[in-house]
Amino acid sequence: MKVKRLHLQNYGRFEDLKIDFAPTSEKAGNVTVIVGNNGAGKSQILQALATSLSWFIGYLRNGKVSGFAIEESSIKNNKNDVLAEITTDFGSHNYISLFNEDGYTRWQLSSVREGRNSSFEDKLFELESVVQKYRKYLTQEDSYSLPLLVFYPVERSNYENKNTAMLSRHFEQLKGYFASLDGARIDFSDFIQWFRNEEDIENETKNLNYNSEDMQDKIKYLMKDLSSLSNKVSQTKDPKEFELLKNRVQEYLVEVSELQEKFQSYSRNSEYQARRILSPIRESITRFTNFENIRIRRQGTPTMIVEKDGEELDVNQLSQGEKSLLALVGDIARRLTLLNPSLDNPLEGEGVVMIDEVDLHLHPKWQHDLIDKLVATFPNVQFILTTHSPHVISDRNDLLLYSLDDGELTEMPNVYGEDANTVLTKIFDVDIRDSKVEEQFNVIRRAISKHDYVTAENCITELAEKLPSDHLELLKCRLLLAQSKLVNNNTDESSHAKD
């Protein structure tokens, strides 16, 4: 599943906005990034997407057309009504119609101020058709894969650990949608609870596999003895020995039958199948954070333990950025696992993940390859992100980049491989240094170009008192001044020689 386009009318800051999402015919990747000043409307786009997609989950769960309503506060000032239309690609589940030229599925939501008439209306027929297909397949196959839909707002993290021993171990497939589009808070205690549950089952599976192999060996030995006994029964002529051997054969048959029934019962029990759920999740967390040997410590209040640089740490000892990233990656992986129980690697499940300010709490070093890691870990997920980080948007050459300014959307050029200063000026329209300092550097450059070396030297001396001695731009100006003096002196000497 992929979101192709969102069309908003009178929504928040937008009078009429159309935005396409990657992949497109020009951008093959699965990542769309939106940048812009605070208040430009980035979060409103993600919220409109979450509201629209909530109707898929509502109808899938309840069999009724339901989802989040567009709140009246989202209607643009001085407008009476609002419309949000979403175009999606559900692949083979798409609504099929002679009038549907591109083969995608569309639905729209509207809202109106109290006491007003609306020029818009809800249109959900195509969505109903799609969800009915999903419900049909789920009815036929309990473990049928479902698309992940989740929105992580800026206020997304909750790291408080509760006593998880009191919480239920039972997790159903549709729990993967729990609180996923109403501004999902990453409840770390919930993640620890789920991880502990899966770790318990993982340990039980290991024991079961050992017991199953033991049972299989025992059945083989019993069958071998049974064959030998059967030969003796057929060869004996002593009635007493015959009766004794026959009874032993019957006892063996009963024991073999009981072992076979127990073994088949284990094999049929889906919870005790060989599960590799935690392996890809541990791998994904390690890929993002370099934490190793991730596990649950059960003494006292259960908590998650990781190893960092060979040191064993409680997650509560980690930095805010480390916890933020671990929780985000872990929550995406957990939801994919719940929604795709039949996949060998549930991290290859499909879906749409929206993250507001994806760089939140992260050191620039972690921001730099964040999108690369998201794409590598969740290869079939469509990511729609907002950011204020130049490191995030220079991460890949296949992402679709937009800039928002006062409600106006502009597609921006590729900045893959550009340095942070270039991205700041080119995309974020931000000066790379303090404006007063930059003006002094401009004065120095102009003075050097006019051979006004006294002014240039005075400005350099003045700046040298304020800036570090190894300031790169200051060193460049000193070098430029020296080169200009050298060239000018050589020119003067050459001129005198001719005279």
* Higher pLDDT, residue 499 or 92: 92
In this predicted structure, which of 119-128, 371-380, 390-399, 455-464 has the lowest mean pLDDT? 390-399
Report the percentage of the chain scoring pLDDT > 90: 40
Give me the chain's average pLDDT, please: 83
Mean pLDDT of 419-436: 73
Closest by Cα among 63, 12, 1 to 36? 12
Instruction: List CB contacts of 466: < 8 A, sequence separation 6 or more.
Output: 437
* Higher pLDDT, residue 181 or 244: 181
Residue for token digits 């479902």?
Answer: 146
**Amino acid identity of 293?**
N
Kindly list the strands in the beta sheet with 292-297, ordered across the sheet, starting from the edge strand earlier in the chain. Answer: 292-297, 303-308, 311-314
- What global pTM score does this model have? 0.76
In this predicted structure, which of 55-64, 296-305, 337-346, 413-422 has the lowest mean pLDDT? 413-422
**Amino acid identity of 126?**
E
Summarised one tens digit per residue, pLDDT across range 81-113 is: 999 999 999 999 998 876 777 889 999 999 999
- pLDDT at residue 161, as a whole number: 47
What CA–CA distance (Å, rounded) separates 176 from 345? 16
What CA–CA distance (Å, rounded) separates 331 from 223? 49
* Higher pLDDT, residue 369 or 349: 349
Confidence of residue 269 (pLDDT cuts 50, 70, 90): very low
**Amino acid identity of 115?**
G
Instruction: List CB contacts of 234: < 8 A, sequence separation 6 or more.
Output: none
Contact 222, 357 (CB under 8 A): no
Asked if residue 164 has pLDDT above 70, the reply is no
Confidence of residue 268 (pLDDT cuts 50, 70, 90): very low
What CA–CA distance (Å, rounded) separates 30 from 376? 11
Exposure b/e, 257-279, CB count within 10 A at least 16 = b: eebeeebeeeeeeeebeebebbe
Q: Exposed/middle/buried for 425, CB within 10 Å: 0-12, 13-18, 19+? A: middle
What CA–CA distance (Å, rounded) separates 325 from 87? 30
Asked if residue 348 has pLDDT above 70, the reply is yes
Q: Mean pLDDT: which of 82-91, 342-351, 432-441 is highest?
A: 82-91
- pLDDT at residue 302, as a whole number: 79
Residue 409 belongs to what H/E stretch?
strand 408-411
What CA–CA distance (Å, rounded) separates 407 from 403? 10
Q: What CATH fold (topology level) applies to the domain 2-147+350-426?
A: Rossmann fold (3.40.50)
Q: Mean pLDDT: which of 66-70, 85-89, 202-206 is highest?
A: 85-89
- pLDDT at residue 306, as a whole number: 92
* Alpha carbon distances (Å) from 302 to 160, 200, 351, 369, 417: 12, 13, 31, 32, 44
Asked if residue 163 has pLDDT above 60, the reply is no
Asked if residue 219 has pLDDT above 70, the reply is no
